[in-house]
Amino acid sequence: RLPALDGAVELAGGNQTICGRFEDGSVKCASRGMHRVRAFGPAGVVAGLEDVVQLSGGTSGFCALTRTGRAACWTILWNERDAYLPTPAVPLWPELGPAVEVAAGWSIRCLRLATGALHCSDEEGDPPRHVLDGAVSVGANRHSCAALEDGSVWCWGWNLDGHCGDG
């Protein structure tokens, strides 16, 4: 049991960490230390976030979307006390305007706008690039996939052993 996440209305998992979104729009993260599950309590609150409506987690970090369509991401840092602590959230591509969905993967970040335009980067810190239009949903891991308005699904990114559906 993870008491620090009791009451969460949404969960997102990452590398040895799980984050929860709460009814009040706040986000807390709890991590597994080397020896046992460790919940951080107040120290696990992600700074720089409020009014969160959606979470996404990946191996190298997490992203959240606020009610106003602002996206922000953070990572989890290990410290010498055998604990993983969330860094403050940093805005994700505010120049693109309001978003309706955010996806965090291995090192991929994607942002879907209300227009259906999808923008992604392959590495943290890389600028976003326009990937496609007409997206209604997006998911990310080592590769990304988007469902389009016409019902088709398109995938790109890491394609080891045909994960993207072409091999």
Instruction: Give the residue among 131, 158, 161 at the shortest CA–CA distance from 146.
Output: 131
Kindly report, residue by residue over 78-133, the tens digit of the pLDDT. Answer: 666 656 678 889 999 999 999 999 999 888 899 999 999 999 998 767 889 999 99
Close Cβ partners of 151 (under 8 Å, ≥ 6 residues apart):
none
Place of tokens 């602002």: 70
Distances (CA, A) of 78 to 61, 75, 83, 87, 136: 12, 10, 6, 10, 35
Instruction: Give the residue among 53, 55, 100, 95 at the shortest CA–CA distance from 74.
Output: 55
Q: How far is it, in rounded angstroms, from Cα 116 to Cα 119?
A: 10
Lowest mean pLDDT among 71-80, 135-144, 158-167: 158-167
Kindly report, residue by residue over 14-70, the tens digit of the pLDDT. Answer: 877 889 999 999 999 887 654 455 544 444 889 999 999 999 998 878 999 999 999
Instruction: Give the residue among 22, 28, 73 at the shortest CA–CA distance from 51.
Output: 22
Phi-psi sector, 25: left (phi>0), alpha (psi -120 to 50), beta: left
**What is the model's pTM?**
0.86
- Dihedral of the CA atoms 148, 150, 151, 155 (nearest 10)? -40
